[in-house]
Amino acid sequence: MPETNASRSQLTLICIVLLVVWIWAAIAPLSREDWLLENLLVFAIAALLLATFRWFIFSMASYWLLAVFLAMHLYGSHYTYAETPFGFWLQEILGTSRNHYDRIVHFSFGLLLVYPLRELIERLARPAGKWLGLLSLTFVMALSSLYEQMEMLAAMVVAPDLGTAFLGTQGDQWDAQKDSGLAMLGAVITLLAARLVGANRT
């Protein structure tokens, strides 16, 4: 369990906030079938965190980063990624040809999740020197690529009729490559920021 009452209180708050967002997202989503598919990721992450909580506890910073990412994903699941109001608002402001909310979330996958992954690698594998950052970046790239493959298989096997809505390609043949590239970019930014912060502390 977390070492302090403050940590336990923060974890409780995180769980409550995510539960509220999940309930909101579950009420009359734009596409119930797409919502169910998108929530496979939420269920998988939640189950993994619960199953490993007794022997591996992340820092509170990592839990908050995970919570922010899951909340963003739940928001997208309610509307489908291609139909989010926030994405349409950005599209109008920036004058883009598509709703870019899915790209924002893929970028956030690297930006927000590389820190918890770095923490996991550091504590379990204990790599030396620059290997920690390199392995963390590689882990994000591998997971991003794996998710694109799982997304494709889920669309093909579970609900072929939801392919366009679930994949959110919006007519872009390079959508998967751009998504993975943005995840890598987000991870690089976080790793550089962490390195700068670490350097300033020494």
Quote the pTM value.
Answer: 0.86
User: Residue 52: which domain range?
Assistant: 5-201
Q: Is the confidence at residue 1, as pLDDT, over 50? A: no
CB of 66 closer than 8 Å to CB of 116: yes
- Percentage of the chain surpassing pLDDT 90? 57
How many structural domains comprise the chain? 1
DSSP annotation of 96 reads -
Which tokens sit at 103? 């790209």
Helix or strand run (H / E) with residue 94: helix 85-94
Q: Average per-residue pLDDT in the chain?
A: 87
- Greatest mean pLDDT among 92-96, 122-126, 136-140 lies in 136-140
Task: List, for residues 30-43, the tens digit of each pLDDT value.
Answer: 989 889 888 988 99
Query: Measuring CA to CA, which residue among 124, 109, 114, 122 is closest to residue 192?
Result: 114
Q: Which residues contact 66 (CB under 8 A, 6 or more apart)?
A: 45, 49, 58, 112, 113, 116
Per-residue b/e over 54-89, b at no fewer than 16 CB within 10 Å?
A: eeebbeeebbbbbbbbbbbbbbbbbbbbbbbeebbe
Tens digit of each residue's pLDDT (9 = 90 or more) over 71-119: 999 999 999 888 999 999 999 999 988 889 999 999 999 999 999 999 9
Q: Does pLDDT of 187 surpass 90?
A: yes
